[in-house]
Amino acid sequence: MRQESAELARQELQGMMLRAASVINQAMDHPDPVISLRAARYAISFGTSFAQLQQISSELDELRDSLDSKHQDDDEN
C-alpha cells in the first residue's frame, strides 16, 4: 500500500512539474523584464537540477546492474 501511495504521489508531482514548466515558459515571454528574467533563471535552475538527477539516476542504474552481475557470478561459484 505504501509503494502504491508513493507511486501515485510521484505521478501527481510529475504532472505538476509539467504545468509549472508551462507557466515558467509563458512567464519568460512576459513584457516585464524582471518577470521574464526571473522565469529564465528558474528554467535554468530547474533544467540543471533535472540534468543532474538524470545523471545520478543513470549512475545508480549502472551500479545496480554491476551489483546484480556480481551477485549472479557469486551464485554460480
Interatomic CA distance for residues 73 and 4, integer angstroms: 33
Domain count for the chain, please give it: 1
Instruction: Look at residue 77 in the predicted model and tell me its pLDDT.
Output: 63
Nearest one of 36, 11, 34 to 23, comparing CA atoms: 36
Note down the domain range covering 56: 2-76
Q: What is the pTM of this model?
A: 0.66
Q: What is the pLDDT along the chain (77 residues), one digit of tens a residue?
A: 888 999 999 999 999 999 999 999 999 999 999 999 999 999 999 999 999 999 999 999 999 999 988 777 777 76
